Amino acid sequence: MKNKFYQYIQDLQNTITSSLEAIDGKAKFQEDIWKRPEGGGGRTRVIENGNVFEKGGVNISGVHGKLPDSMQKYFGVEDADFFACGLSLVLHPKNPMVPTVHANWRYFEMYDKVGNIVDQWFGGGQDLTPYYLFEEDAKHFHKTCKTACDQHNPEFYPKYKARCDEYFYNAHRNEGRGIGGLFFDYCKATDIMNMQDWYNFVTEVGNSFLEAYVPIVEKRKDLPYTEANRNWQEIRRGRYVEFNLVHDKGTLFGLKTNGRIESILMSLPPHVQWVYNHQPEAGSEEEKLIKVLQNPVNWV
């Protein structure tokens, strides 16, 4: 399973980066192959200063070795080894009318002292963070997510949509990071779903990513915007940074397993603002977004 999924994310990385380069029309992904001293490595691809994408990364990794003490305590195990692989992407467009997007699809195995698998699971999802809310875009993104889920279980979309709203939430701000999508974790074998079934589901979601995001980019990338729109985008990016550094489990896992700092922090945007006590103008498009972030919407 680990070999099959790692091959899948390698192929998906190629598909996604080729598509994004074609949309941008200027910038190309810069590739960085790296190795982790304790075992494994990855392939980081970063795009910067393009026509469409100000900064973005589409990274894959496959790492293994002894599970660090802090993570052994977290999982309640002793003397465990692990293997983890996944694809993680974040794209920060230049135009404030185009939303930031994040996605991640991952697989994890844990082993006992003699190398037997004692636990294994899939996780992942995809979510949208707009700066200006176009309801048709939100509906398109969520409808694509729902279609992928419905191929496998009609209960998946409402369940994983709710988890996404709950997870990508800046509790210290009382607002969501964005308008959600899907978030699933610890997807293990059960009487209903074996690991092959979970593989089929996770890859279905991964394959739906470009269909969910690219039409939105194409529709919004050439819209006019003002300096005020750009300032708002940078203020909202600050909230994105706050979530990733304060709450995100993936960031924490990467740092605690001696992950590659450049790859872990590639999700941070290049231009950000923190304005003291900033409040959007009453009745503005900016305030409209905030109200939705404070009260998640059922888009489908």
Task: Give the residue numbers marked as catalytic.
Answer: 102
100 forms beta bridges with 129
User: SS3 for 114-179, per residue?
Assistant: CCCEEEEEEEEEEEEECCCCCHHHHHHHHHHHHHHHHCCCCCHHHHHHHHHHHHCEECCCCEECCC
**Among 245, 253, 251, which residue's Cα sits nearest to residue 71?**
253
DSSP 3-state percent helix, strand, coil across the chain (nearest 5):
45, 25, 30
Q: How many CB atoms lie within 10 A of CB 76?
A: 7
Q: 3-state class of 277 per DSSP?
A: coil
